[in-house]
């Protein structure tokens, strides 16, 4: 076997987890436990890292990588990736793996977006799933299983841009979880026309022709066409059971105008205001991911804020 090829699981038996410090760049060389059904995924309870692969109901595999640090931490981080240059990256993609593996004490689950399997050129699909398969509940279930395996009582979903959008979506299905989202899209229809066209063509082709005039006009079609699946604004205007830290670079002019401002105005004073923290920072000009240090600090700050908010809520009930 080529040493760069990940070990396979013979006859459904899981390969042994590898030490976290042995993870390669991107994690794609980590041994893989292949399973015939998502319901059979039972993440390892001992320390180490292992990949898991099992098909969704439509046959597309869900690919994850789980780092279990055992009793070292009671927190599970969940990494979701943003736009993926398919000429640069080979799926599955586990964004932030090196940062978390080398610099964070917490257990972690990384999930590659199965929706990108829709086309070899598709860069961004926001983890929505397809017309007849909403991916969000399946993602939330894998998070629950990983949290149970590592004994976590705190769950932090994190991502930047499209990954931040997904983190804030999935968190709503995990009560008291925390989403830390850097510069997310407030709705799919507020992102670039090119990204919208590609997404609709490959993921929601039944809407592609119908919505082209709205894209050309710059109208936000997300909520009308796909409801909460395509819009954080639509999702968070109603009460949600999670916490969310929306972190915005003030030098990302397009996202300030098209996304952050719209979300803040629509949601900032709504029913989730006690569980929503809007954090602004001065970063590099343009739209891009945060540095590793800023990401890790935002996670720790968010955990402190969440704990304090839970304590306040408990005090008000008492």
- Number of Cβ atoms within 10 Å of the Cβ of 9: 18
- Number of Cβ atoms within 10 Å of the Cβ of 201: 16
In a domain, 4, yes or no: no
In a domain, 2, yes or no: no
In a domain, 245, yes or no: yes
In a domain, 256, yes or no: yes
CATH no. for residue 39?
Answer: 3.40.50.1820
> Cα(96)–Cα(100) distance, rounded to whole angstroms?
6
In a domain, 301, yes or no: yes
In a domain, 287, yes or no: yes
> Cα(228)–Cα(169) distance, rounded to whole angstroms?
9
Q: Could you tell me the residue range of the domain that residue 271 belongs to? A: 10-317
Contacts of 99 (CB under 8 A, 6+ apart): 292, 295, 296
Contacts of 145 (CB under 8 A, 6+ apart): 41, 42, 43
**pLDDT tens digits along 94-136:** 999 999 999 999 999 999 999 999 999 999 999 999 999 999 9
In a domain, 1, yes or no: no
User: Quick check: 116 and 122 in contact, CB under 8 A?
Assistant: yes
Q: How would DSSP label each residue in 100-143?
A: HHHH--SEEEEE--GGGGG-TT----TT-EETTEESHHHHHHHH
In a domain, 3, yes or no: no
- pTM of the full structure: 0.94
The pLDDT tens digits along the chain (318 residues) read 344 445 555 545 789 999 999 998 899 899 999 999 999 999 999 999 999 999 999 999 999 999 999 888 899 999 999 999 999 999 999 999 999 999 999 999 999 999 999 999 999 999 999 999 999 999 999 999 999 999 999 999 999 999 999 999 999 999 999 999 999 999 999 999 999 999 999 999 999 999 999 999 999 999 999 999 999 999 999 999 999 999 999 999 999 999 999 999 999 999 999 999 999 999 999 998 999 999 999 999 999 999 999 999 998 765
User: Quick check: 115 and 125 in contact, CB under 8 A?
Assistant: yes
* CA proximity to 136, closest of 207, 260, 240, 211: 240
User: Quick check: 75 and 100 in contact, CB under 8 A?
Assistant: no
pLDDT at 269: 92
Which spans in the chain are helix H? Answer: 97-103, 136-150, 162-171, 193-202, 205-217, 222-226, 232-236, 253-255, 261-267, 292-317
Say how many domains are in the chain: 1
């Amino acid at each position: 076997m080529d040493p760069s090829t990940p070990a396979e699981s013979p006859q459904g038996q899981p390969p042994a987890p590898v030490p976290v410090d042995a993870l390669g760049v991107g994690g794609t060389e980590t041994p893989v436990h292949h399973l015939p059904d998502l319901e059979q995924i039972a993440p390892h309870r001992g320390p180490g890292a292992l990949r898991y692969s099992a098909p969704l109901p439509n046959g597309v595999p869900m690919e994850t990588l789980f780092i279990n640090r055992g009793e070292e931490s009671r927190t599970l981080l969940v990494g979701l990736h943003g736009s993926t240059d398919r000429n640069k990256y080979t799926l599955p993609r586990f964004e932030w793996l090196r940062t978390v593996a080398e610099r964070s004490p917490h257990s972690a689950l990384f999930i590659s977006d199965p929706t990108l399997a829709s086309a070899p050129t598709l860069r961004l699909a926001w983890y929505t799933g397809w017309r007849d398969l909403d991916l969000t509940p399946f993602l939330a279930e894998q998070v629950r299983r990983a949290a149970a395996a590592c004994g976590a009582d705190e769950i932090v979903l994190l991502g930047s841009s499209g990954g931040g959008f997904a983190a804030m979506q999935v968190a709503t299905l995990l009560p008291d979880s925390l989403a830390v989202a850097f510069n997310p899209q407030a709705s799919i229809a507020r992102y670039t026309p090119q990204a919208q066209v590609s997404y609709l063509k490959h993921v929601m082709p039944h809407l592609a022709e119908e919505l082209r005039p709205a894209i050309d006009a710059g109208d936000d079609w997300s909520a009308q066409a796909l409801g909460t699946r395509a819009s954080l604004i639509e999702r968070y205007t109603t009460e949600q059971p999670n916490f969310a830290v929306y972190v915005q670079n003030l030098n990302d002019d397009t996202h300030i105008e098209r996304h952050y401002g719209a979300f803040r105005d629509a949601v900032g004073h709504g029913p989730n205001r006690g569980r929503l923290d809007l954090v602004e920072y001065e970063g590099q000009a343009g739209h891009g991911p945060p540095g590793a240090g800023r990401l890790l600090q935002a996670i720790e700050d968010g955990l402190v804020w969440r704990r304090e908010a839970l304590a306040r809520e408990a005090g008000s009930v008492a």
